[in-house]
Each structure stands twice: as structure tokens, then as C-alpha cells.
Structure 1
Amino acid sequence: MDFRDELPVDHRLARVYRIGAGLCGVVLLVFGCLGLTDGLAFFSTTGERVAGLSSNGLLSLISIVTAVVLIAGAVVGGNTASTINIVVGTLFVLSGFVNLALLDSGANVLAFRIPNVIFSFVMGFVIATFGMYGRVSGNLPRDNPYWRHRHPETAQRLPAGEVHGPAPRPGIAGPAR
């Protein structure tokens, strides 16, 4: 079974995924370009301040590559953008934890400082939230394409006027008729 086959393809949530990937990609692209134009040392563990964060050439390059991936996801759109947002957001959060452990050590090859760690956590959660929006929840509305795809029999039986309410929770009876 292919994961892509399990997801609805054409839905209005694709705009949210595209906007999120595009905006976060542009922010990272600007940060990376500012770092590279400053001529930062590539593997400096102390780093230089760029846009309020510590950076070196390697972090600038990684930021640009990540930005290109996010912007490509925004161009492709749909479930691809959502999946890219979730993966990149998760990697940002993991990077925050790893680099938090490496602060003030010789292994801090990305020249992270506490503001970088906080930025990594915040940006990771923002990117992942854009990717998960309307896709991951225990109480998706019945007109949500992901809910409809996961419950095709129930979705087909719903009267036309009842598609906008929240999905019934398993084991909880609906309103009496």
C-alpha cells in the first residue's frame, strides 16, 4: 500500500499547506542568503550574528537547502506540501534538541546558541502545524477530505445537510431522532 494512495488529492486545505511551506521557506532563504553574503567561516563553532541568530557558512547553506525543499513543496502543493511540512517541522524540532545538547562543545558545528535552539523549536512547530492543519485530529469535521477518505461508507450515507457537523466519536451515541 502506498501512503499517497490513502490521502485525498484535491482539497481546499492544499492552500494552507502551500502558504505555510512558502512563507517558512522564504524566511529560511533570507536567513541563509544573509549568512552567505556576510562571508561567514564555514565550520566556525562560535558563529557570527545574522538576523539575531548565530550562524556560520554551514548553517547558512543548510538553511538555503531547507528553504528550497519547502518552496518546492509549496510549488507542488497538496499532500506533498503537507508531508514535506510535517517532515521538515519534525526535523527542526529534533535539531533543536540535538543542538541544545551540543551547546558550548566542540561538536557544535552549526554554531548554535540558545536563540537558535528556540528558533528551531518555534519554526519546527510552525512548519509542522501548517502540514498537519486539517489533516491530523481526533475530531475532524465530516466534510474534511481526510475524514471522508478514512470513512467512505459513512460519508456516502450522510444526508446532504449533515456533512458540516463534527464527526461522531467512536462509542458515543449521536443525537436521538
Structure 2
Amino acid sequence: MKLHEELPVDHRLSQVYRVGAGLCGVALLVFGALGLADGLPFFSTSGERIAGLSSNGLLSLVSVVTAVVLIAGAVIGGNVASTVNITVGTLFVLSGFVNLALLDSSANVLAFRIPNVLFSFVMGLVIATFGMYGRVSGKLPLDNPYWQHRHPRQAERSTAPAPAHRAGPAGLPGRPA
């Protein structure tokens, strides 16, 4: 699948992308700000608990940067917000897998623990779902702008007016005029 900026923008869908990016961005911003405010050690692999998750200074900084990217996507809106959501969501899920492999090792520079991994998976799927909503599906409705962009000939036919019919003998339907 290709995500291009020339795809049509549907304002109703843009609101979903914006709300998703904004809410997730604010949640990450709060988490990151709490960690930075506590003055957590930057490269501690053991981490300290912030909002039920293990964190260190580096994870707090990464959370704030990610939050800024999501909030910027929410401000811009449209296809940009959708693409940002899909990308950030995918990176969250990948981060969950990578950090799962690094648990209890000296390479665990983000101080992840199992709750962090689960949070990363869930948050990644939520963010990606907000980005894909109404944009990626096998059963998009015919009035969806993404379906119309991908199927221009069928979209023309579905929006063209039906041909007028002439009445046949005894008022029965006839053939098109």
C-alpha cells in the first residue's frame, strides 16, 4: 500500500486522525514530562516507576519527542495526521518487540519492563488504528474518498445518474431513453 499526499482528504476522517494523534500525544507528553520532572537518571537500565511504567531520563525524552510529533500531526491534520499515526504506531509495536528481546540485559537503555512492552504494543495498535481508520480496509464504502481515488471508473459509475426509462406498452417499464 502506498500512502501519498495526493490522496483525497475527507474532513470527517481528518477529525478522527487529529483526535487520535492529539490524545495519544498528550498522554505521552504527560508521561515524559513526569519522568523529566523527577530528574530520573538518563541511562539507568533499572528505571523508576512513573505512572505505573518503568522509566529513565532517556525514555522520558523519547516520549516527549514522540508526543511532539503526534501533536504536530494533529495540528496539521488530514493525510499527514493519518500517515504520522500509522508510522508512529508501527514504530511503537516494533519498539515493543525490540525491547522485549532486550529485557534484563545491559542493552536495555530505555529501562523497559514487561508493563512497558505491553503498553508499547497497545499504544502502537491504538495509534495505528486511528491512522488507518477509514483509509485502509477491504470493505470501504463507495462514498469513501480513498475508495473513490483507488477506483475512479467505478466511482464515476456509482455517482452517475441512472438513465431515464420510457414507458413501454401498457405502462410497463421500457428501454432507456
Question: Could you say whether these structures have the same fold, taking a TM-score greater than 0.5 normalized by the shorter chain as the test?
Answer: yes
- Flag the 1:12–1:52 CA change in 2: closer, same or farther, 3 A: same
Aligned to 1:17: 17
Tell me if the contact between 2:96 and 2:118 (Cα under 8 Å) persists in the aligned partners: yes
Q: Deviations over 1:87-140 (max 9, x none)?
A: 000000000000000000000000000000000000000000000000000110
Any idea what SS the aligned residue of 1:16 has?
helix
CA distance in 1, matches of 2:159, 2:23: 39
C-alpha displacement of 1:4:
1.6
Tell me if the contact between 1:55 and 1:110 (Cα under 8 Å) persists in the aligned partners: yes
Aligned to 1:114: 114
Tell me if the contact between 1:11 and 1:145 (Cα under 8 Å) persists in the aligned partners: no
C-alpha displacement of 1:144:
0.5
C-alpha displacement of 1:159:
4.3
**What TM-score, normalized by structure 1, do the two folds share?**
0.87
Q: Which runs of 5+ in 1 are unaligned?
A: 163-177
**What TM-score, normalized by structure 2, do the two folds share?**
0.87
Tell me if the contact between 2:3 and 2:83 (Cα under 8 Å) persists in the aligned partners: no
Structure with larger Rg: 2
Q: Deviations over 1:76-95 (max 9, x none)?
A: 00000000000000000000
C-alpha displacement of 1:161:
8.6
CA distance in 1, matches of 2:10, 2:160: 20
Q: Which runs of 5+ in 2 are unaligned?
A: 163-177
Any idea what SS the aligned residue of 1:49 has?
strand
1:163-174 counterparts in 2 under 5 A? none
1:26-45 counterparts in 2 under 5 A? 26-45=26-45
C-alpha displacement of 1:153:
1.3
Give the share of equivalent positions with the same residue, in percent: 80
Aligned to 2:174: none
CA distance in 2, matches of 1:3, 1:92: 22
CA distance in 2, matches of 1:152, 1:129: 26
Aligned to 1:91: 91
Q: Which runs of 4+ in 1 moved over 3 A?
A: 159-162
C-alpha displacement of 1:152:
1.2
CA distance in 2, matches of 1:130, 1:149: 20
Any idea what SS the aligned residue of 2:49 has?
strand
CA distance in 1, matches of 2:125, 2:95: 12
C-alpha displacement of 1:9:
2.5
- Considering only aligned residues, what root-mean-square deviation do their CA atoms show, in Å? 1.7
CA distance in 2, matches of 1:161, 1:118: 51
